[in-house]
């Protein structure tokens, strides 16, 4: 598993100082052990696995069902590795309060270390954030973003979004070697315990919808704006008729129509017009270039997807990319038999990391107990 999503309860508490200091020391030993045994790229691979990362946070002593596990674990690791980052060949940018500063931190590393691939990392950081907020519109607002990378330019992104309505946080994982196309299924191992019906434009099933969206911007912005205005007026008419909740009606002959969540949608047509004409002037060659443009966000993408579906019959996916999974399989063979070699390797690396950590014997014993409890 290279990438994924995890959903946990939203937590507004703070990590006590005594716990944070111990998390720093213990995580330092574990990361050193993984790097010495398997190399820095393996650290990225482990971090991009949402279940492994969750297990790491538990071993370090944080609450297993708290959104703070993400922010606190990554914060502790960033501090713990800062003075040995050049020796390990692993660098960490961003964080909860430093999310928006990630590009600046990457650029600083590029200058100070001579990393010519820094612009690629900045692009990956921005696109990962934009895709998980604009192409997977699941109701979670991104508020935490970390990018980890190695001297070879390989990277992983871990970011988290919050949903105040259901009081949960969802964590998104990326790994560079698993990203063949930024805008089509960049996640390859996504897990969660909350299934939704989001607008999912990273699915393969949404490919035609994205192609038409791009063409609408490149060739026919006036036609698109006319269509979206017509759809908005129709939607307002239906709302005034007080139809049943979730009811959607379109009088479009000879056009296959699929439901689209527009019942309560309100588009700022003037603002949308400015964005569309700006995008048209930039002449994007494909959907990824369109998405990367400044000002093209969730509302613009949703409007383009809506017209592509209702007017041109190009249905996007509404399947949640998250699914339930196990880190090494399940005892009853679901979803797959337990992979014993992988299981033993995971335990071996964790145990060595605990032994290498500069903490007291009592703290090492407690960490080992937590690891056995996870088993």
Examine the pLDDT at 316 and tell me if it is beyond 90. Answer: yes
* % of the chain residues with pLDDT over 70: 70
pLDDT tens-digit map of 139-188: 889 999 999 999 999 999 999 888 888 788 888 899 999 999 999 989 75
Helix (H, G, I), strand (E, B) or coil at 142: strand
Helix axes 298-310, 118-134, angle to 10 degrees: 60
pLDDT tens-digit map of 118-139: 999 999 999 999 999 999 998 8
Q: Pairing mode, if any, of strands 141-150 and 155-163?
A: antiparallel
Q: Is the separation of the CB atoms in 278 and 293 below 8 Å? A: yes
**Domain-by-domain residue ranges, the chain?**
4-196+322-374, 204-310
Q: Pairing mode, if any, of strands 155-163 and 4-9?
A: unpaired
| Paired residues of 191 in beta bridges | none
As a whole number of Å, the end-to-end CA separation of the chain is 19
Q: Which of 292, 228, 237 is nearest to 260 (CA)?
A: 228
How far is the C-alpha of 325 from the C-alpha of 309, rounded, in Å?
32
User: In this predicted structure, which of 23-37, 44-58, 219-233, 312-326 has the lowest mean pLDDT?
Assistant: 312-326
* Span 65-87, average pLDDT: 87
């Amino acid at each position: 598993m290279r990438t994924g999503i995890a959903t946990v309860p939203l937590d507004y508490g703070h990590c006590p100082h005594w716990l944070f200091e111990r998390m720093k020391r213990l995580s330092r030993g574990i990361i050193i052990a993984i790097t010495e045994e398997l190399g820095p790229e393996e650290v990225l691979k482990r971090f991009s696995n949402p279940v492994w990362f969750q297990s790491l946070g538990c071993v370090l002593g944080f609450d297993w069902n708290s959104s703070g596990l993400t922010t606190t674990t990554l914060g502790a690791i960033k501090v713990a590795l800062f003075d040995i980052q050049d020796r390990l060949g692993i660098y960490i940018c961003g964080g909860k309060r430093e999310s928006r500063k990630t590009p600046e931190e990457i650029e600083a590393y590029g200058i100070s270390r001579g990393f010519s691939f820094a612009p690629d990392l900045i692009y990956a950081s921005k696109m990962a954030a934009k895709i998980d907020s604009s192409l997977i519109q699941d109701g979670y607002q991104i508020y935490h973003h970390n990018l980890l990378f190695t001297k070879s330019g390989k990277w992983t992104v871990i970011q988290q979004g919050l949903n105040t309505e259901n009081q949960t946080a969802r964590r998104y994982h990326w790994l560079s070697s698993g990203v063949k196309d930024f805008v089509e299924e960049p996640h390859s191992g996504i897990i969660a315990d909350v299934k939704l019906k989001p607008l999912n434009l990273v699915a393969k099933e949404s490919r035609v919808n994205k192609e038409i969206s791009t063409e609408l911007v490149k060739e026919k912005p006036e036609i698109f704006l006319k269509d979206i205005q017509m759809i908005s007026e129709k939607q307002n008419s239906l709302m005034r008729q007080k139809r049943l909740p979730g009811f959607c009606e379109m009088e479009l002959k000879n056009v296959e129509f699929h439901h689209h969540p527009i019942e309560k949608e309100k588009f700022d047509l003037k603002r949308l017009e400015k964005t569309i004409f700006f995008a048209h002037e930039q002449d994007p060659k494909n959907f990824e270039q369109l998405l990367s443009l400044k000002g093209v966000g969730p509302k613009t993408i949703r409007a383009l997807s809506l017209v592509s579906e209702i007017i041109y019959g190009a249905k996007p996916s509404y399947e949640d990319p998250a699914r339930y999974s196990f880190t090494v399989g399940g005892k009853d063979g679901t979803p797959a038999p337990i992979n014993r070699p992988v299981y033993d390797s995971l335990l071996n690396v964790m145990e060595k990391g605990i032994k290498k950590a500069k903490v007291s014997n009592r703290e090492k014993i407690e960490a080992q107990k937590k690891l056995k409890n996870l088993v």
